[in-house]
Amino acid sequence: MSEVETKVEEVKTTTAKKKRMSVKDLTTLGLLTGILLVMAFTPLGYFHTLGVDISLMMIPVAIGAMLMGPKAGAWLGFIFGATSFYQAVTGTSVFSATLFNISPVNTFLLCIPTRMLMGFVTGVIFLLVSKLDKKKTVCYFVGGFFAAFLNTVFFMATLILLFWNTEYIQGFNTAFGGVNPFLFVVMFVGVNGMLEWPASCIAGGVVSKAVSRTLYKKVV
């Protein structure tokens, strides 16, 4: 084998290793998956209300996305979305269950793809910001914030797109005085956003940074 062929093989081997998740990554991913499942079936994950549930499920998603990248974020987002859809099917969440009775397919699209996209995009944003953050501190809090922010944006945008003209959502809108979709979103998620966004920003940022610098022994 020539020297050129040898180098090509080395590059291929290195690329293949980068594509494969390490045992540490798989262990961390499994742990975060377990945490999401535990949170989903305890008050830690969802606080049920008459409207959109207040949730802290995006925090483990943010942590995974920042530690292991966008693909891990998408997987954890899938777990988050699957538990949300399960609550819609079983009637655990009044809001989601009502939407499920209106349209099971649209509720599936509302619960799962939105959370997968949130996890993936959070990972991408973290990678971009980490390149600009020389001290490698702000990027973790930015990632934590955007996980919650994007969860709200993607979920509510899909809700408006798929359920805006339903009698159920228009009932809420009537109570708000018949506002336009944008104001409806602002009013509907006001309390949720004030609780979820700072919680995810702080908890996601602190935990991700600590784990990254201890277990992973890296600054990004």
pLDDT in tens, 30-66: 999 999 999 998 888 888 776 777 889 999 999 999 9
| Total of domains in the chain | 1
CB 143 within 8 A of CB 201: no
At 8 the pLDDT is: 41
At 125 the pLDDT is: 97
CATH number at residue 115: 1.10.1760.20
At 214 the pLDDT is: 80
**Helices 190-214 and 58-68, axial angle in degrees (round to 10):** 40
219: CB partners within 8 A, 6+ apart = 136, 212, 213
In a domain, 3, yes or no: no
Q: 151 falls in which pLDDT band (50, 70, 90)?
A: very high
In a domain, 199, yes or no: yes
Mean of the per-residue pLDDT values for the chain? 87
CB burial class (10 A; 0-12, 13-18, 19+) of residue 182? Answer: exposed
Q: For residue 161, is pLDDT > 90? A: yes
What domain range is 143 assigned to? 23-41+56-214
In a domain, 129, yes or no: yes
